[in-house]
Structure 1
Amino acid sequence: MAESVRFEISEEKEEAGKDWIQGFLRRHPDLSLRKPGNTSAARAAGFNKVSVGRFFELLGQTLDKHAFTPDRIYNCDETGVSVVPKTRSKVIVATGKKQVGALTSAERGTTITIEICFNAAGSYMPPMFIFPRKRMKRELLYGAPPNSSAECFETGWITAEIFLAWFKKFV
C-alpha cells in the first residue's frame, strides 16, 4: 500500500494541501467537494435577480390569463453533448447543493445537439438529435429512445430551419 504524503499549508505558495482540505471538510460537514458543471459566461451574466424576477412575473401573468393545465405547459431546450470527455477540478460547496457551475472556454471535440421537450405533467416528446455531418445514416439512432428523430448539419448545432422542422412535429 502506498504511503500517504502529508501536505501542509504552504505560506510560501499560499496553498492548502490535501490534509488541510480533508481536515477542513471534517470540521464542516455541511460542505462537500464536487466537480462543477460547465456554465458559459453569457449564461452566468443573464442569471441575475432582475432577469429571473421578470421571468417569473411574466410567467405568473401568462398563467393567470390563460389558466393552462400542466399538460399544456411545455419546456424545450437544446443541449450539446461532447463526444470528448473533459476532466474538471473539484470545488467545495454546501452539501445538498444540486447544481454547481464553473465557467468554461469554447467546446472542443465533436458535439451532438439534442432537442428535448417535456410538459409539467411529466410527458415528454421523443428527442431530436442533430449530428455534425452532411448525410444521415439510420445507424446513428440505434439505441435512441423510441420515435426519436435526427437531422444533420455540418457543425452539429441546431439552426432555425432544423428547429422549425422539429416544432412542426411537436405541433
Structure 2
Amino acid sequence: MTNAFVSVGEGAASVRGAAGKYGIPEATLHDRVRGYVNPEVVKSGKRPLLNQEEELHLVEHLKVMTASGYGYSRAEVVDMASTYTAVLERIYNVDEKGLKQNHSPPSIVTSLEAAAKTPAVVSGKGSTVTVTGCGNALGNQIPPYSVFPGKRMRPELLKDCTSGADGTVTESGWSNTEVFLYYLEHHFAKFVQGRDSNNKILILYDGHKSHISLPLIDWAKEHKIILFTLRAHTSHVLQPLDLGCFGPFERIYNNECHKFMRSNACTGIDRFSVCDLACKAYGKALSTHNLRSSFKKSGIHPFDPLAVDQFIPAKVLKRVALRTRLTFDVPDLQEMTSSPSTSTFFKSREEAVGQVNKVTKRRRTISRVV
C-alpha cells in the first residue's frame, strides 16, 4: 500500500496502474490518494481508543515490568488497557462561552486603498447567548447546553440544533447557580460515560460563584462525582477548554455567522438562529483531537507537572502589578513575630497600598488611532 501510494504521488504511475502492479483494490488506493482515508490506516473500523503516544506509554510500562520479572498475560494487558481508557473517560472539564449575535467579521482580501472603505456585513446590536461546553480526556464531547436571554423558554430557540443539544432561559442570558445545577443533574448526567456505582467521575471547572453551592456539593456526593475547582487566575493555563477548544469555537462560530449573513443579509442573525450556528461550530471545535490536545497541554493527561514550566500570571494580575509596582523588604519570619512592632509592620504596608496613585485610562480618539 505504501509503495503504491508513493508511486502515484510521485507521478510514476496512475492509480489503476499502481493498483494492478501491487495487487491493491483500485478503490482503496483511490480513497487514500484523494485524501478520503489516511494513508497510514491499514484496516477499516472504528478509531482506536488509545493514540500512538498512549500506546507507547503502555508498551514502555510492559517492558519495565517484564525486565523486573513481572510479565503480563494477554488477558491482563487487555484489562489494563480497558482500565486505562476507562480512567480517561471519567475526567471531564466544564466551562461556559458567551456568543454574540453581532459577530466579529473575518478579515478580507483587498487593496490598501479599499480596506478602509469596505463595510462589514454583521447583524445589529444583539444579546449574548451562553453555551456550556464539556468534554473528557478521551476526546468525547457532551452536547452543548445554551442559555438564552428571556423569561420563557420557546422550542423555536432550539430550531435546527444538533441531536442532544438543549437549553434554557435567564433574564441576562448568563448562567447562574440554578442553571448550572440543572445542567449537571439533567444534561450532563444523561450523556456522561463511565458512570457506575464503583467508579467516580472527576469534573474540573473554574471557581465562578455559580459553580459553588451547597445543593451542588450534596448532589455530587450522592452520585459519586468529584468536583475540583481550579485555583483563581489559573484557568488560562490549566483549563483544557480554554486552552484548545473555545478559541477555535469562537473563530468557527464567526465564520458560520459570516456565511449565514451572506445568504440572509436582510433578516440577519436573530436569537432563533444562534443555536444552529453554535452547534455547527461546537461539533468542530470540541473534536477528539482538540480535546485530547487540550488535556495534554494543561498537563492533566498525560499527567505532566512540567507542561506549565513556569506559571504565567493572568493579564489582570500583570496590569495590577504594573500599576502598583510595590516592593517590600520583608524581614525574617522569626524576627518579625518576636518583634513588638509586628502590628506596625502590617499597618505601614496597608498605608503604602492605599497611597498608590490611580492610573487614569486615556480615551481613544481619532487622532491617537491614526
Q: How would you bin the TM-score normalised by the shorter chain? A: 0.3 to 0.5
Q: Return the structure number with greater helix share.
A: 2
Please give the TM-score of this superposition, normalised by the length of structure 1: 0.46
Task: Select the structure with the greater relative contact order (CA < 8 A; seq sep ≥ 6).
Answer: 1
